[in-house]
Amino acid sequence: MKKTIFLVLAALLCMCAFGCEKEAEQPKLEALRDKSEFAVYEDGEQILTLEEIEMTDWAQFFFASPYSEYHGDDYVGNSYDYRGRDITTKRGIKIGSSMEDVVAAYTGIEFYQAEFDGDEFVYEIRTVEQVAEAEQRLREESGYEGYNDYQKTVWFHTDTYFLHDGSALSVSAFNERVKEEGWDYYNMQRNMDEYMDAFYELRFAVMEGAVTEISLLDEKAAMRID
């Protein structure tokens, strides 16, 4: 699991450093500009943030497994257990929400969707509407009924770089900053604290039109190389 997450993040940051060919084809999309978007809510009130999650490697939270013991010995902070409670993102999305709910909540936000091209995963910028269209096309494929749950699932995520100057940038906007500043990708990976205050991810999994997983991840900690 951890190896998979690291490879995904490495691919994403490499893409930031070296550009994305299809970026220009998309309308201008925004990042989630406040850290409060990367937190857990109940009845509209924030109940847990990534900063409060203490782990031996990097902070992460899974809405489908919302209890600290799920992480085993990797979790070292104050325990939490939200099983059986109605937890949501800041915008009200929860396990069981429809894809239409996600579209309504996150229109205008830059997402990335992973697609397997036979050899490796390719990450493309998507509007949330485009993700919904891709999920609908998947359900219309011949043979869909014979797919397993993994094959029926569409994963997509949005990422925000919170820089020291107060900027909150999407992946594509951060890519432009990398070019403007002439930052070196490998140095950046080894000295993340010099470049940014935080780098957060919000990820969704949708199967058969409904949200099956939501996760939060502290990507700066996950990407750091000592």
* Predicted local distance difference test score (pLDDT) of residue 28: 82
State the chain's maximal CA–CA distance in angstroms.
50
* Predicted local distance difference test score (pLDDT) of residue 189: 79
Q: Which domain holds residue 216?
A: 2-223
Q: Which residues contact 183 (CB under 8 A, 6 or more apart)?
A: 17, 177, 195
* Predicted local distance difference test score (pLDDT) of residue 192: 86
* Predicted local distance difference test score (pLDDT) of residue 162: 97
The H or E element spanning position 190 is helix 185-190
Give, for all 226 residues of the chain, the pLDDT tens digit: 443 444 444 445 544 444 444 444 556 899 999 999 999 999 999 999 999 998 887 889 999 999 999 999 999 989 999 999 999 999 999 999 999 999 999 999 999 997 766 667 678 899 999 999 999 999 999 999 999 999 999 999 999 999 999 999 999 999 999 999 999 888 887 888 898 999 999 999 999 999 999 999 998 876 654 5
Distance CA 68, CA 79 (A): 5
Q: Which two tokens stand for residue 30?
A: 């925004």
Any bridge partners for residue 202, and if so which? 158, 216
Mark 166-201 as b/e (b = at least 16 C-beta within 10 Å): ebbbbbbbbbebbeeeeeeeeebbeebeebbbbbbb
* Predicted local distance difference test score (pLDDT) of residue 186: 82
Q: How many domains does the chain have?
A: 1
Residue in this structure with the two tokens 């190896």, named with its chain if needed: 3
